[in-house]
A and B are shown apart, each in its own frame.
Chain A
Amino acid sequence: AQTVTQSQPEMSVQEAETVTLSCTYDTSESDYYLFWYKQPPSRQMILVIRQEAYKQQNATENRFSVNFQKAAKSFSLKISDSQLGDAAMYFCASRNTGGFKTIFGAGTRLFVKA
C-alpha cells in the first residue's frame, strides 16, 4: 500500500528566508513519482515540483528544490528566498508509475511573515 506522511501540520518562515517541509512515504513499487503540490486560499491545486524515483538527481524549479533520499523514503521540499505568495497548504504526494492513483499526505500549512 502507498502511504505519504507529513509530520509538520504548520511551518512558519520569515520573508526571504529558507524553509524545508518534510515528507516521508512508503511504497512497495520500485518506480514511482513524487510530487509537491501547493494549495493557496483559492483551493486550486498547483504542481510545485515533481521527481521521478529512478532519477538520482534532485529536482529543482527556480526557488523550489527537493531532497530525495530514496533509501530513507524521504522527500523534503526546500523553499528558498520565501515570498509572501508562498503562503499556502503544501501537500506531498506519490503515484506508482504503473498505476494512476495519487496519494496525498495530510499537508503542511506554511505561513510567511513579512
Chain B
Amino acid sequence: GAVVSQHPSWVICKSGTSVKIECRSLDFQATTMFWYRQFPKQSLMLMATSNEGSKATYEQGVEKDKFLINHASLTLSTLTVTSAHPEDSSFYICSALLAGSGELFFGEGSRLTVL
C-alpha cells in the first residue's frame, strides 16, 4: 500500500517556541492531506484539510494562526505549532488521500510535548 511518513515522531520543546511537523507521501502524489489531533484515549479530531498550492481549510475552533499548515508540493505538507504551550501537547497525525481510490493513508504520528 501507499506510504505516508511523518517526522519527527516525537518532539519536546519549551513553551513559547515553534515546532514544525512534516508529512510526506513517499510513493504517491497527494493533492489533499489532513491533520488530526488525538488526545490520550480519545478519537482523532480533524484539525484542517491541507490542499496543495492553496490555503488550508481549518475546522471550527482550530486557530489558524496557532497551527500553520503549508502544502507546498504534491508530496509534502507541514504543520507548524507556533508559540507552543503545554496545552498544545498532543499526538498529531497526518493522512493523505490517494486520488482515485478514495483511501486514506496515515502517517505514524508525532507526539508533541511542550514543557
Cβ–Cβ < 8 Å partners of A54 in chain B = none
* A55 sits at the interface (CB 8 A): no
* A11 sits at the interface (CB 8 A): no
**B103 smallest CB distance to A (angstroms):** 7
**A111 smallest CB distance to B (angstroms):** 14
Which residues between 22 and 65 of chain B lie within 8 Å of chain A, taking CB atoms? 32, 34, 38, 42-44, 46, 49
Interface size of B as a range: 10 to 19
Chain A residue at minimal CB-CB distance from B102: A33
Chain B residue at minimal CB-CB distance from A32: B102
* A59 sits at the interface (CB 8 A): no
Interface size of A as a range: 20 to 34
Please, how many angstroms separate the alpha-carbon atoms of A105 and B34 in the complex? 17
> Are A44 and B43 in touch, CB under 8 angstroms?
no
> Are A45 and B106 in touch, CB under 8 angstroms?
yes
> Are B103 and A43 in touch, CB under 8 angstroms?
no
> Are B95 and A45 in touch, CB under 8 angstroms?
yes
* B97 sits at the interface (CB 8 A): yes
> Are B109 and A101 in touch, CB under 8 angstroms?
no
> Are A44 and B104 in touch, CB under 8 angstroms?
no
Q: C-beta contact mask, A43-66 vs B, less than 8 Å → 1, else 0?
A: 111110010000000000000000
> Are A91 and B44 in touch, CB under 8 angstroms?
yes
B contact set with A: CB distance below 8 Å: 32, 34, 38, 42-44, 46, 49, 91, 93, 95, 97, 102-104, 106, 108-109
